[in-house]
Amino acid sequence: MSLRFESLPLTPEMLKVIADIGYVQQTPIQAQAIPLLLEGKDVIAQSKTGSGKTAAFAIPLLQKIAVKDNFIQALVLSPTRELCTQVAREIRKIGRSEKNLKVVTLSGGHAAYFDVKSLEYGAHIAVGTPGRLLDLINRDKLNLTHVQMVVLDEADRMLDMGFRDKIEEILKKTPTNRQTVLFSATYPNTIETLSRQYQKSPKRITIDAAEDEIQAIEQIVINTHPATKTDALLRFLASRPLESVLIFCNQKLTVGELVTDLRKCGSSVDKLHGDLDQGERERVMAKFRNQTTRILVATDVAARGIDIAGLDAVINYDFPGDPAQYVHRIGRTGRAGKKGVAVSFLTSRESEKLVAVRDYITAEISVIEATEIKKVKQSEFKRVGTPTKMETISISAGRKDKIRAGDILGALTGDVGIAGTDVGKIEILDRVSFVAITQSSAKQAMTRLSGGKIKGRKFIVQMVR
C-alpha cells in the first residue's frame, strides 16, 4: 500500500493543500481509512491518540461536500467543546482551497443563539457535541435531511461520558442512506453494539498500539511507597532537563493535591481536569503548548484526545488501570522522532498491573527503586519549569471576530515593533486568541496589542498567568 497522498483519488486542489500543510505521507490509519471512506463504506476505526484520525475522516468528508449546495452535508460528533474546536480547525485547514466552505462548531460554551445564527447563514459541515446538536435538532434549528456522512469522533469517549442515548437520537434523525463512521482510540464492547445497530456492513480497521513508536520511548517504572511518591517524583523531575512534562493521575482529587505540592517547590505547573470551564481549559492548554507552563497534571478524561506535540516526558503518577491505557498515555511522548521518557510510579499493591503491561508490550521497561534516584537539594527542584521562555497573552477576539494570525503579528511587529523572532505560536480560537511572546518582549507586546493596533480595534488583552 502506498503511503503517498498522490496515490489517492483526491482533487488536485486537495492534494496541493495537503502538500502545503506539510503532510508528506499518510499515517497508517489514514492509509487504511481514506480509500474506504472515499468509496462510501461505513468504517469503524481504532488507533491511538495523535495518529491522525481527524484528517483520516476530514479528507474524504471534504471531497464529498458540494459547496454550491448551501446546507449541512456532513455531521461530526465529538465529546467536548475543545475537541470540536480542534476538529473544526483541522477540517477548515484541509478544506481551505474551497473559499466558501463553512464549518460550524455547535458545542456550547455560549448561548445557543449564536449557533442558530451561524446555521441561518448557511453551512456545509457541522461539528458538535451530542448535547448541543440534539438541542438544536429538537428545536428545528439544525436540518439533517441532506446529511450524507456522520462521523462519531472519539466514539469510546462519548460513550464513557454517557452520550449513548443522545447519539442514538441524533443518528435516528439522519437519513438512513447516510455513511456512518466511528473513530475511537480504544475498542470497548459498547462500540461494537453501537456499530451493529447503526452501521451497514462496516469495515473494521485496527492500528496496533504502534509497537515501534513505543520502542522509541525510554520506559522506567519506579517502585515507591504511596507516602513517598511525591518526593520521588520531585527528585526525578530535578534529575533531568525536561522542558515539557505531562503527568497523569487517576483521580481529580490527586491532580489538585499534586499541583499544590509542585507549586510549593517552585515548579511552573497547571492542572487539567474535567471540571474546568472552556475558557480555563483553553488558557491552560495555550500556556502549556507555548511552554509558559512546563508541567501539566491531568486526568485521562481531561487529557483525552488532546494533541500536544513535543512532550519530553509522560509521567504516570498513578499507575494506569489497564495496559491499553498505559500505552495510550505514554504514546504522547517521543513523537516526531524525538526520544521521550515515560515514568510510572508503582506501589507494591499494584505489582500485577506491571505484569499485565509487560504481557501487553514487547518493549523494554526498566524497574528501579525510588531510593535509587539521587537526592537533590531543594533549590534544584526549581530547575523544573522555572526558566519560562515564553509568556502567553490572550486577546478577547477570535475567528468569529474576523481576526487572523497575520493581524496580530502585524500589530506586534509593524512600524519597527517587536522582532518577529520574539513572537511564537499564534492560536486563533472562536472568540479568543493566544500569542506566545518572549519574556523580554512581553511588556511591549501588551502595550501594542491593547493600543488598538489590531485592525484599529480595541480588545481586552491579558497576560495569561
Asked if 457 and 423 count as a contact pair (C-beta separation under 8 A), the reply is no
Using the rule CB under 6 A, give the single segment among 25-33, 233-241, 262-270, 455-463 that binds ligand ADP: 25-33
Handedness of CA 139, 142, 144, 145 (dihedral sign): positive
Kindly identify the residues of this chain, within the stretch 271-330, that bind ligand ADP according to CB under 6 A.
305, 307
* Alpha carbon 326 to its chain's center: 18
Q: What does 345-379 look like in DSSP terms, one character per residue?
A: EE-GGGHHHHHHHHHH--S--EEEEGGGSPP--HH
Q: Does 202 bind ligand ADP (CB under 6 A)?
A: no
Coil, strand or helix at 80 = coil
Position 370: which residue type?
A
| Grid cell locating 389 | 521562555
Strand 341-346 and strand 313-316: the pairing is parallel
Give the number of residues in contact with ligand ADP, rule: CB under 6 A. 13
32, 34, 50, 373: which one binds ligand ADP (CB under 6 A): 50
Q: Kindly tell me which residue out of 44, 55, 272, 408 binds ligand ADP, with binding defined by CB under 6 A.
A: 55
Q: At what angle do helices 189-198 and 164-172 cross, to 10 degrees?
A: 10
Site string for Mg ion, 15-54 (x = CB under 5 A): --------------------------------------x-
| Interaction residues for Mg ion, span 295-324 (CB under 5 A) | 305
Tell me if 51 contacts ligand ADP by CB under 6 A: yes
How far apart are alpha carbons 372 and 166 in whole angstroms? 51
DSSP 1-21: ---BGGGS---HHHHHHHHHH
Q: Is 180 in the site for ligand ADP (CB under 6 A)?
A: no
For residue 136, the tally of other CB atoms under 10 A from its CB is 19
CB of 348 to ligand ADP, least distance (A): 34
Q: Which residue in the set 32, 46, 49, 80 belongs to the binding site for ligand ADP (CB under 6 A)?
A: 49
Question: Which C-beta is closer to Mg ion: that of 53 or that of 431?
Answer: 53
> According to the binding rule CB under 6 A, does residue 79 interact with ligand ADP?
no
Q: Which DSSP letter does residue 400 get? A: G
Closest CA to 244 of 320, 302, 297, 300: 297
Give 165 or 211: the residue with its C-beta nearer to ligand ADP.
211
108 binds, among ligand ADP, Mg ion, none (CB under 5 to 8 A by kind): none
**Nearest residue (CB) to Mg ion, 78 versus 180:** 78
Q: Which is nearer to ligand ADP, 25 or 378 (CB)?
A: 25
CB-nearer residue toward ligand ADP: 305 or 340: 305
- Per CB under 6 A, residues contacting ligand ADP are 23, 26-27, 30, 49-55, 305, 307
- Per CB under 5 A, residues contacting Mg ion are 53, 305
